Structure 1
Amino acid sequence: MQVSVLASGSKGNAVYVEMDGVRLLIDAGISATRIKKALAAEGVDPASLDGVLVTHEHRDHVAGLVTLSKWYRLPIFTRRATIEHMGCRSSVPADCFHPIEETFCLGGLRVEAFHIPHDAADPVGYRICGSERCTLATDLGFVTSDVQAAIDGADVLVLEANHDPEVLRNGSYPWPLKRRILSNRGHLANSDAAWALVRMKKRPSKVFLAHLSEENNRPELARDTVQRILAGQGLEQEILLTSQTQAVSLNANIN
């Protein structure tokens, strides 16, 4: 399994997952040119992608979708309500869209879309199951029981650690935006990410902390908060920090 977080943050998100010969892009929130270059650095031709999975319609998850679909006519998988609420919908070839329900198959992989609490039409995380399991859960205000169940059993987990609440409260954002981020349909705090990891019945081999706020978080703060809470419960976990500007990759046989 290969997992490469090409970009993660409020300015754009894209994650590449390859498993059992199937190549997937989760979200296309950065430019198509940047996606093409980032994939080329991983030795991947974007034309070889088997599909793009979209979590929700916010611009930082779909900004590159129009150009990417025109260049490569890739199939786009997402919830019907997400398609209907995409501002760029009319600029994407209609036959590229494939509405999904909870579970569907791509190649030899089973893809499970699970609901996440976020202020979008019908936002989802993804659990990709084959010889190994990779789960992505970002852009969620809190970890529901369904999200907790979805991340359990992941060999590789991409989990949001968006902000530190005190840094956010004392920061420069206007109060309505702070309230949105802190709400149950906003973004996940570092400590909440840590406690989600504590509650997992099976430890992932690797965890990517993702969607870190450049304004309301710091990479070392996110890592240290998560590690401190885990250590307090007698747990150890290998943590990888994602970046808005640089790809962070894992290429390993987890078994």
Structure 2
Amino acid sequence: MQVHVLASGSTGNATFIKMGNTKMLVDAGISARRIKNSLAELGTAVEELDGIFITHEHRDHINGLPTLTKKYKLPVYAKAATFDSMYCREILPESCCKVIGDSIDISGVKVEPFSISHDAADPVGYSLYHQNLKCSVATDIGFVTDSVKKAISYSDVLVFESNHDVDLLKNGAYPWHLKRRIMSNRGHLSNTDAAWTIARMARQKHTKVFLAHLSQENNRPEIAENTVRNILTEQGCELNVDIDIRLTYPDKTASLTEG
């Protein structure tokens, strides 16, 4: 299994996952050109993608879809309400739009969406399974429900939101209504909440976690990493043995090969 977070943050999100010979994107919130170039650097042609799985309809998760579907005819999987709420729905080729149900098998990879709490039509995260490996992607989470905890449990690799530092957000330049939205149960997950979720989740013996969707305004990579590491250590987790913490970036790829 290979996991490459091509971009993560408010400016755009896309994660390339290869399991066996199956190649998939979770979200396509950066330009098709950038996705194509990033994949080429990894030795993959954009035409080789078996599917694009969309978590929700916000532009930083779907901006590349018009070109990826019209030019490359790539299949896109999402919830029906997500398709209906996309700004670009009318220009997406009908043949490319695939409504996903409880699960789907793509060339030997089982993909299961799970509901998350966010201010979108029907937002989801995804768990992907191939042989004995599991990868989960869960970002844009206002509140970690029991069903989310269950869905991400025992992931070998987890791409998980660590959006903001609460103090930076509260004291930052955002207007209060936006701060309130981010901190709400339908907003984004703080570094502290991310850390406690990771500490308490049912885990594999060695779990790799990408901290994702870091706010460039209300977070800092070193703050996110230190907050999560400190809480995990306090909870008895042995870093780099029990859990391996990695950062993601808005402007470069973060990569991992597992198994």
TM-score, structure 2 normalization: 0.96
Aligned to 2:227: 225
Aligned to 1:168: 169
Aligned to 1:51: 51
Aligned to 1:243: 249
Map 1:31-70; keep pairs closer than 5 Å: 31-70=31-70
Map 1:65-104; keep pairs closer than 5 Å: 65-104=65-104
Q: Comparing 38-47 with 195-204, which one deviates more in the overlay? A: 195-204
Aligned to 1:115: 115
Aligned to 2:143: 142
Amino acid paired to 1:125: G
Amino acid paired to 1:231: T
Deviations 1:110-148, CA, capped at 9 Å, x for gaps = 111000000000000000011210000000101100100
Distance 1:72 1:200 in 2: 39
Q: Comparing 226-235 with 197-206, which one deviates more in the overlay? A: 197-206
Deviations 1:21-74, CA, capped at 9 Å, x for gaps = 110001000000000000001101010000000000000000011011112101
CA offset at residue 198 of structure 1? 1.0
Does 2:134 correspond to 1:133? yes
Amino acid paired to 2:251: T
Q: Comparing 102-111 with 184-193, which one deviates more in the overlay? A: 102-111
CA offset at residue 83 of structure 1? 0.3
Amino acid paired to 1:39: L
Equivalent residue of 1:90, what SS?
helix
CA offset at residue 241 of structure 1? 0.2
Matched residues, number: 253
CA offset at residue 205 of structure 1? 2.6
Distance 1:226 1:187 in 2: 16
- Computed over aligned residues only, the root mean square deviation of the Cα atoms, in angstroms, reads 0.8
TM-score, structure 1 normalization: 0.98
CA offset at residue 209 of structure 1? 0.2
Q: Percent identity?
A: 53
Amino acid paired to 2:253: A
What are structure 1's unaligned runs of at least 5 residues? none
Distance 1:141 1:124 in 2: 12
Does 2:240 correspond to 1:200? no
What are structure 2's unaligned runs of at least 5 residues? none
Aligned to 1:18: 18
Amino acid paired to 1:58: H
Distance 1:230 1:125 in 2: 23
Distance 1:128 1:251 in 2: 15
